A and B are shown apart, each in its own frame.
Chain A
Amino acid sequence: MTEDQQAKTRKRIILLGIASAVIALLLAFLTLGFYEFYKLKEETVNKLESQTDMLIFGVGPALMFDDRDSADKTLESLRSDRSINRVRIYNTKGQEFTSFIALDQDGDIHFKKDIIYQNEKIGRLEIDARYVGFVDRFRNYFIIILIIFIFSIPITFILSAPLRNQVSKAVGQLSELTTRLEQSNGELETLLYIVSHDLKEPLRSIEYFSTSVKEEYFNKLDDKGKDYFDRVILAASRMRLLLDDILMMSRARRMKPPDEMVNGENIINDALARLEGKIKQVNARITIAKEFPKYKVERMWATQAVLNLIANALKFTNEGEVPNIEICPYNEKGQTGIMVSDRGPGVPPEHTRKIFELFQRAVERKVEGTGAGLAIVLEVAHRHNGDAWVQPREGGGSEFIITFAKA
């Protein structure tokens, strides 16, 4: 795989070198061609002008004395010039006096001149000519360019060798690193899953047997022993929460891609249904917007993310206040999603990023939870090509937003 890529890169650099040589040569070829063409044009025009003057000098008297033979003879001298198609000579009445035709075609250049003899206009001369010799000159250039091109291939090859080696080495290293990174990411996820899943078995034993002791043998312990024992039970239940969160995180990382168009209202209602007990317990007031768009989501995880946001809003309130939560669609900056707003204490600016990291919490431990809820929200958002963040709310509180990629 890696060597294959390196070979490909090497080949690409050579092709690139040759392609740039070809382009440079082609440009040179075209420039020279245009230059030659204009030079040829200029030369042809100059030549024709002097030829016309010569012709007028030779044909003038013949026209004057109506001596067509003499005029024809003068014109016949043009036969050796391949650039002249035809020459016509008219008298003052505009009638053709005589003509010379090598090729009966309009040429590239059409030339007219009055025939003046002894200061008197006695007729008109018209020449049709074409550019000749251009192809020959072009062919020469073509051959030269071709030779340069042939020589440029080995030169390109030799000069690009160090670059080729460097780049292909770098590409090789990069692809190797990427492969290794993917591998270790995969291993990490597997490890995460195994750790969180398999650690639950011994934990179940700890919980079971410590609770059994608490129920049946607790009285045999003195106060200190009881305190220690309660700490064991508390630590075990905290460990369970942590493992549940790690397990959920590892599952979120392996979720299948979004595949369903679901109305935002359905997602919110599903989340609220699962939080019903808690909502009643804290007597929360929840307002939901009337209309939501459809989002392209993985339904289970989108619901989990919204649930986490609502649970978060239920948890953080100012002392003595009941949670007051608003849920509405978010539609700004070309993003679409769901916004959960609270009237809680708000998040200090220095914590707005931290609270979305795994097991980072902005509050002390007595607030329940492990600090994985928002990290899971962010993970779900990323798996939807969206984002999740918190911003301060006008009039106090926070706005938590999760966005999903537009369908």
Chain B
Amino acid sequence: MDSNKKLIKILLAEDNDDDIVMIQDAFARSRIINSFDVVKNGEEALKFLRKEGQYADRDRPGLILLDINMPKKNGFEVLEALKQDTRFDYIPVIMLTTSEREEDIVKSYKEGACSYITKPVNFNNFSKVIEQFALYWALISKIPS
């Protein structure tokens, strides 16, 4: 197992501080070695990926977690922009949201997201979802390094 474990760099774009902690905790519990970069709105997410300003020396992530409801450019807008840029259009994107609206789900996949996770409103389920999700990405799915 250990040999399969590798560091995944994750960019989390999420404006809710509590959710950020919960997601980081869940990843920590899953014992997946990872590093988190957190941005709190859509514009910052794009700046990070384009290595603009303060993010100039940051490495590009191997996985992006995008909250749909964010200030300044929501998750969909970020998704659309990053899928048009060949520098990072290959990075898997996972949409995170409380919405279970079918149209949001369809839109996410249409725009190129590779997964869609609804934040369960019950925290127990939420941490389970995050843990399993973390395991899946760390152990099962191969992502470009």
Q: Which A residues are CB-close (under 8 A) to B1? A: none
Residue of A nearest to B119 (CB): A204
Q: Which A residues are CB-close (under 8 A) to B54? A: none
Given contacts A201-B16, A201-B98, contact A208 B121 (CB under 8 A): no
| Cβ 8 A contact of B25, one of A204, A212, A240 | A212
Q: Judge whether B116 is part of the interface by a CB distance below 8 angstroms.
A: no
Q: Judge whether B41 is part of the interface by a CB distance below 8 angstroms.
A: no
* B18/A209 in contact, CB under 8 A: yes
Within the complex, the shortest CB–CB distance from B23 to chain A, in Å, comes to 11
Q: Which A residues are CB-close (under 8 A) to B121? A: 200-201, 204
* B16/A208 in contact, CB under 8 A: no
A residues contacting B by CB (< 8 A) are 200-202, 204-205, 207-209, 211-212, 240
Q: Which B residues are CB-close (under 8 A) to A208? A: 18, 22, 123, 126-127
Other A-B pairs beyond A204-B119, A205-B18, A240-B122, 12, CB < 8 Å = A201-B16, A201-B98, A202-B18, A204-B122, A204-B123, A205-B123, A207-B122, A207-B124, A208-B22, A208-B126, A208-B127, A209-B18
> How far, in angstroms, from A202 to B18 measured CA to CA in the complex?
8
* A207/B123 in contact, CB under 8 A: yes
B residues contacting A by CB (< 8 A) are 16, 18, 21-22, 25, 98, 119, 121-124, 126-127
Within the complex, the shortest CB–CB distance from A103 to chain B, in Å, comes to 90
Q: List 15 A-B contacts (CB under 8 A).
A: A201-B16, A204-B119, A204-B121, A204-B122, A205-B22, A205-B123, A207-B123, A207-B124, A208-B18, A208-B126, A208-B127, A209-B18, A209-B21, A211-B124, A240-B122
Within the complex, the shortest CB–CB distance from B53 to chain A, in Å, comes to 31
Q: Which A residues are CB-close (under 8 A) to B16? A: 201
> How far, in angstroms, from A212 to B25 measured CA to CA in the complex?
10
* B98/A211 in contact, CB under 8 A: no
Q: Which B residues are CB-close (under 8 A) to A202? A: 18
Residue of A nearest to B121 (CB): A200
Within the complex, the shortest CB–CB distance from B11 to chain A, in Å, comes to 22
What 5 pairs between A and B have smallest CB-CB spacing?
Answer: A205-B18, A208-B123, A200-B121, A207-B123, A204-B123
Q: Which A residues are CB-close (under 8 A) to B119? A: 204
Residue of B nearest to A210 (CB): B123
Q: Which B residues are CB-close (under 8 A) to A211? A: 123-124
> How far, in angstroms, from A180 to B28 measured CA to CA in the complex?
53
> How far, in angstroms, from A207 to B125 measured CA to CA in the complex?
12
Q: Which A residues are CB-close (under 8 A) to B124? A: 207, 211
Within the complex, the shortest CB–CB distance from A90 to chain B, in Å, comes to 104
Q: Which A residues are CB-close (under 8 A) to B22? A: 205, 208
Residue picked from B22, B121, B126, most chain A C-beta under 10 Å:
B121
Within the complex, the shortest CB–CB distance from A211 to chain B, in Å, comes to 7
> How far, in angstroms, from A211 to B26 measured CA to CA in the complex?
14
Q: Which A residues are CB-close (under 8 A) to B21? A: 209
Residue of B nearest to A236 (CB): B123
> How far, in angstroms, from A176 to B119 measured CA to CA in the complex?
43
> How far, in angstroms, from A240 to B119 measured CA to CA in the complex?
16
Residue picked from B121, B123, B126, B127, most chain A C-beta under 10 Å:
B123
Q: Which B residues are CB-close (under 8 A) to A201? A: 16, 98, 121
Within the complex, the shortest CB–CB distance from B96 to chain A, in Å, comes to 13
Residue picked from A204, A209, A212, most chain B C-beta under 10 Å:
A204
> How far, in angstroms, from A200 to B119 measured CA to CA in the complex?
11
> How far, in angstroms, from A207 to B22 measured CA to CA in the complex?
11
> How far, in angstroms, from A240 to B18 measured CA to CA in the complex?
18
> How far, in angstroms, from A200 to B126 measured CA to CA in the complex?
13
> How far, in angstroms, from A209 to B21 measured CA to CA in the complex?
9
Residue of B nearest to A243 (CB): B121
> How far, in angstroms, from A240 to B121 measured CA to CA in the complex?
10
Within the complex, the shortest CB–CB distance from A21 to chain B, in Å, comes to 62
Q: Which B residues are CB-close (under 8 A) to A209? A: 18, 21
Q: Which A residues are CB-close (under 8 A) to B126? A: 204, 208
Q: Which B residues are CB-close (under 8 A) to A200? A: 121
> How far, in angstroms, from A207 to B121 measured CA to CA in the complex?
11
> How far, in angstroms, from A240 to B125 measured CA to CA in the complex?
14
Within the complex, the shortest CB–CB distance from B28 to chain A, in Å, comes to 11
Within the complex, the shortest CB–CB distance from A296 to chain B, in Å, comes to 27
Within the complex, the shortest CB–CB distance from A370 to chain B, in Å, comes to 16
> How far, in angstroms, from A200 to B22 measured CA to CA in the complex?
15
Within the complex, the shortest CB–CB distance from A203 to chain B, in Å, comes to 8
> How far, in angstroms, from A204 to B18 measured CA to CA in the complex?
9
> How far, in angstroms, from A211 to B128 measured CA to CA in the complex?
14
Within the complex, the shortest CB–CB distance from A98 to chain B, in Å, comes to 106
Q: Which A residues are CB-close (under 8 A) to B98? A: 201
Within the complex, the shortest CB–CB distance from B72 to chain A, in Å, comes to 20
Q: Which B residues are CB-close (under 8 A) to A205? A: 18, 22, 123
> How far, in angstroms, from A204 to B122 measured CA to CA in the complex?
6
Within the complex, the shortest CB–CB distance from B67 to chain A, in Å, comes to 12
> How far, in angstroms, from A200 to B100 measured CA to CA in the complex?
15
